[in-house]
Amino acid sequence: MGIYVEIPIRATMEDLWEKTQNPQLHQRWDLRFTQIEYLPRQGEEPQRFLYRTRIGFGLKIDGQGESVGERDGDNGARTSSLKFWSEDPKSLIKTGSGYWKYVPNENAIRFFTWYDYETRFGVFGRLADTCVFRPLLAWATAWSFDRLRLWIEKGTSPEASRDRALVYALSRGTMAFIWFYHGLVPKLLYHDKIELDLLSRIAPPERLHAATTLAGLVELLFACVLLVLWRRSWPLWLTLVLMLVGIPVVAISAPAYLTAAFNPLTLNISIAALSSIAIVAGRDLPTATRCRRKPEETA
């Protein structure tokens, strides 16, 4: 089947070509590569290059490739084809090939790629590729294409997009963890006495444990909503409002808790701050969902 990714980018052909064909610029926006280096080229021979991808913990994967053809179409379209391979024993990819295509279309350029590859490690390699590696590689390609779009259309550097995406993920992920923990541990597992005391101010005694369980389930559900609806902003705004409203509610109903260690005041302000950070960082983030993942069907 191969991997297909397409995105429209409002750019000049020269700018888009430069940012995708210049290795120093290419490695800045493409999540799949940490380093790309062109090798010396003689005459009309294919342009060969080296690539490196760091996978963490000091490990890296090295590979090679070559551009096997570039041509201009009658309508101004351009195509760049390539082959790639890796002799690194850590690399799941053995050999592959693909192309990039640039097609002018009204006020934008249809920028798309298709590529496929063979894996090593036999049946285990094919299984790992189908279940994990190929979907992850397709997502990284699409996310990188949108990061390139933001660089060209909005002037947001790839490094800024990366940093904002990390800030967004850390703040939103931390909020989801807090909602999940407070729903599971003090409410569902242990029925903490402080939780029971706070809820006793709004729930009748005979339904106190049921109210605690319900509150815990709601918080677990909201933690899932924050993760599943990753790009939706309304859970962030709802969190911000609930945290700010909760402070005067606790101050009126249980003021003694405001002076305790790890009290609701500091917790609510911290979560409200995380929500605000995620709201700000979440504007114009790169996302793989903007890309088409299948080619257009032609009659």
Distance CA 131, CA 146 (A): 24
Report, as an integer, the average pLDDT of 42-71: 86
Write out pLDDT tens, residues 78-89: 999 999 999 999
The confidence score (pLDDT) of residue 256 equals: 86
**What is residue 263's predicted lDDT score, i.e. its pLDDT?**
87
Tell me the average pLDDT across 147-158.
Answer: 96
- Give the chain's mean pLDDT: 92
| Fold designation for 3-155 | Alpha-D-Glucose-1,6-Bisphosphate; Chain A, domain 4 (3.30.530)
What is the pLDDT averaged over residues 131-138?
Answer: 95
pLDDT confidence of residue 299:
45
For 179-208, the pLDDT digits (tens) are: 999 999 999 998 888 888 878 877 788 888
pLDDT bracket for residue 104 (50, 70, 90): very high
Please state the length of the chain.
299
Mean pLDDT of the 270-284 span: 95
| 212, 196 Cβ separation under 8 angstroms | yes
pLDDT: which is higher, 84 or 250: 84
The one-character DSSP state at 221 is H
Q: What is the pTM of this model?
A: 0.87
- Residue spans of the domains in the chain: they are 3-155, 163-281
Lowest mean pLDDT among 148-162, 240-254, 269-283: 240-254
